[in-house]
Structures are given as C-alpha cells and as structure tokens.
Structure 1
Amino acid sequence: MTQDEDAARLGLRERKKRETRVALSQATIRLCVQRGWDDVTVEDIAAAANVSVRTFRNYFSGKAEAIAASHLERMRRVADELRARPADEPLWESVAHAVEGQFAPKAGPGQGSSEDRRRWTDGVRLMLAEPALHGEIVKANAAAQEELARAVGERTGTDVARDVYPKLVAAVVGAGSAVAVEHSLSADPPVSLAAVLRETFDGIVAGLPAP
C-alpha cells in the first residue's frame, strides 16, 4: 500500500468515525427532546442509531457528552465553511454566512408546522436546562472555540499561539451564537433563529452601537 493509499484509508476511517459520532449525538438529542431526559436510555439511543450499546460507549460516556458533541461538530462545520468562503470576502460576512448555514438550516427538526416547531422548541429548552448537561457544554464550547480560532487564524494570517485576534473572534462568534439561540428559544412571540443570527452579527459588525 502506498503512502497516499494509506492516508486515504486513514481519512476514510476518521470520516466514518465522525459520521457515527454525529449519528449518535443527533439520535440522543432527538429522543431527549421528544421524550424528556429521564425517559431516554443509552439502549434507546443505540437502537435508534442502529448500533450496539458498546459502540455508543466507545464514543461517549453518557447522554450529556453525546448531546454536547453536536455543538462541537456544528462549530467544526462552521470552521470548515469559513475556510471555504471566498478569500476576498470580508471576514465577518464570511463568519455570518458560515454560522447561519449551520445554526439555522432551512430543513431539519422543528422545521414543520408551527405546532411542530413549538413542541420542538419547548423540548430543546427543557433538555438544555438539564443540570447534567452543563459541564459537558462548557467543555464542548472550549474545544469549539479552539477549532474556530484556528480557522480564523488561517484566514487572517494570524497565529493562534501568538496573536489574540483569532481567539477573540472565536469567542465573540461563540458568545453571539449562544445568545441568538437562547433568545430564539425564549422569545414570545416566537422569532426565527436565522433572523436573530442576522441581527446579532449585524450588530457585532457595526460595533454594537447603543439601540
């Protein structure tokens, strides 16, 4: 086997592992939103993802870590999208496109009727309030910011180890996205996450002037 073939094989293996992590994380979120935290077991999740309980345990220690992994994966996709945006596009325009594309897709859970959206939103709100999830979310946020900071550094020619700029941008993106999600979940009357994300990043680009 040549070096290129070996690298391709390793790349395929890592891609398969990433796909399994995503499938398990999404199954955990879907079941916890639909049934409630206490009514979902690891066995339920493994069955929904069509894997064994042992496979689940190979990836995650429990439901909380599996759910938090979805946020990290989403921020990795934001970083990938940021790297793929046109090189001459302003940084914050690229960031806004990348974040909106991953945080507010046009299709997915909770995108059906108004009643479906309300039930999904209520379920997500209850899930995120689960105390067992908080520590894992903090760890996922830290890893996500590191990933995004590297992408910002590559795009701007800054060094994550030496310069504060890429880490600052990543922290602002993380905080802005979290605020937008929380506001969208709690707004009454409901407001779309895409609209809140646009308002959030427009405000950041403008320097957050007083309203």
Structure 2
Amino acid sequence: MDSSVGLRERKKEATRQAVHEATLRLTVEHGFDRVTVEAVADAAGISRRTFSNYFTNKEDALLYGEEEHIRALVQEVRNRPAEEDAWPALRAAVAEFSQRMAPPEREWAVRTRLAMRHPSLLARQLANHAALERDLAEAVASRRGPAAEDVRPLVLAAAFLSSLRIAMRLWIEEDEARGPGAVIDEILDEMGRGFV
C-alpha cells in the first residue's frame, strides 16, 4: 500500500514539474500574455481539467519552481543545529541549499524578469512569499521557543525572504554579471547588520 501511495505522489510531482516546465518554456517562446492554460496543458500532455487539478492558473504554474525552492529552503532551516542563532542559521541554510540544489540560473532569471514586468505574476509571487514566510517564521521560532507574542521570528523571516527577492532583482539589473550567490551574500550581509 505504501509503495502505491509513493508511486502516486511521484507521478503527481512529475506532472506538476512537467506543467511548470511547459509554462516556463511557452512563456519564453511566446511571452506570458500570449500563453494560455490550454496551450500549457497541450504542451504538458494533459487535459485542461487535469491542469486545474494541479494549478489554479498559469501564474501558479510558472512560479511553482520558485515555491518548491523556498519550501526546500525552509526545510534546510529546520535541519540546522538547534544551538545556532536564527540569522546565522538562515544564512547557512541558504548557502547549503545553493550548494546542494544548484538551481538553474536561467530559470531564476526568467522568473525574476517576468515578475518584474507582469503585475499578476508579481502579485502571485508576493502571495506565495507571504504563505511561505509563515512557514519560515515557524521554523525560526522553533529554534529558540519564543513566547507566542514574540514578533522576532516574523521579522527575521520577512527580512530574509525580502533579501532574497531584492538579491534576485539586483542580479537581473546587473545583467547577471555575478553569480546569484554573490549577490545574495551581499544583500544578506547588509540586512543582517541589524540582527547581529
């Protein structure tokens, strides 16, 4: 029974990834405004109805990869040693995540450029970040067991995710002259001055 559930989940994940990749490819080829959900479904080899089982709209499908990366990053924070302070744990988690995952820079660049040009994508991206910010705040809070009214984990999570977003925007504005990791480090250094 467990193996069939595992296989089913892997198939669902493969479908989500295929839809995400089809959305990204079609957006690069035709422009975001010209891509339809029907075209994405066709390119991914699924029906329109199946698309709707996985994603609400093309914005969600396009940003899926970013959302998964942030979820993995939250898990990296949870995996850090319990005695490590929150901001150093966040810094170490992003460094570890970057080394382990080695996400394709091209995909980051495409998504960042698109979000900067399309208000609907930017709005969806910010909504995703708000939801993931809560998860990250919980991961930070669990590190030191703050009182329920303690706002520091919320501030740290928001500052950290904002730093990543700023770094990606700066990286694009610099025409990718440096690697994204170098830009992330610079922004996190600056943001971290108030937290150490």
TM tier relative to shorter chain: 0.7 to 0.9
2:113 is aligned, of 125, 129, 143, to 125
Deviation at 1:51, TM superposition (A): 2.9
Q: 1:152 to 1:48 in 2, by over 3 A?
A: farther
2:102 is aligned, of 75, 92, 106, to 106
Q: Which runs of 5+ in 2 are unaligned?
A: none
TM-score by length of 2: 0.79
Q: Deviations over 1:148-200 (max 9, x none)?
A: 111111222235x4321111111111111111010001115722211011112
1:72 is aligned, of 60, 67, 73, to 67
Alignment of 1:1-80 (within 5 A): 17=12, 20-80=15-75
Indicate whether 1:162 and 2:158 are aligned.
no
Give the whole-Å Cα distance in 1 for the aligned partners of 2:111 and 2:69.
Answer: 20
Q: Which runs of 5+ in 1 are unaligned?
A: 112-119
The letter for the 1-side match of 2:102 is K
Indicate whether 1:152 and 2:148 are aligned.
no
Which residue is equivalent to 2:182?
195
**RMSD in angstroms over aligned alpha carbons?**
3.3
Q: Percent identity?
A: 36
The letter for the 1-side match of 2:44 is A
8 Å CA contact 1:36–1:123 kept in 2: the answer is no
Give the whole-Å Cα distance in 1 for the aligned partners of 2:141 and 2:126.
Answer: 23
Which residue is equivalent to 2:192?
205
The letter for the 2-side match of 1:25 is H
Indicate whether 1:183 and 2:170 are aligned.
yes
Which residue is equivalent to 1:87?
82
Deviation at 1:76, TM superposition (A): 1.2
Q: Deviations over 1:91-122 (max 9, x none)?
A: 323212323455685352528xxxxxxxx846
Q: 1:68 to 1:155 in 2, by over 3 A?
A: same
The number of aligned residues is 195
Give the whole-Å Cα distance in 1 for the aligned partners of 2:135 and 2:13.
Answer: 15
Give the whole-Å Cα distance in 1 for the aligned partners of 2:9 and 2:150.
Answer: 30
1:138 is aligned, of 126, 135, 144, to 126
Give the whole-Å Cα distance in 2 for the aligned partners of 1:123 and 1:145.
Answer: 19
Q: Deviations over 1:28-83 (max 9, x none)?
A: 23431343213322233224434332111112222112223433322211111111
Give the whole-Å Cα distance in 2 for the aligned partners of 1:158 and 1:60.
Answer: 36
Which structure is higher in helix share? Answer: 2
8 Å CA contact 2:112–2:169 kept in 1: the answer is no
The letter for the 1-side match of 2:79 is A
Q: RCO greater where, 1 or 2, for CA within 8 Å and sep 6 or more? A: 1
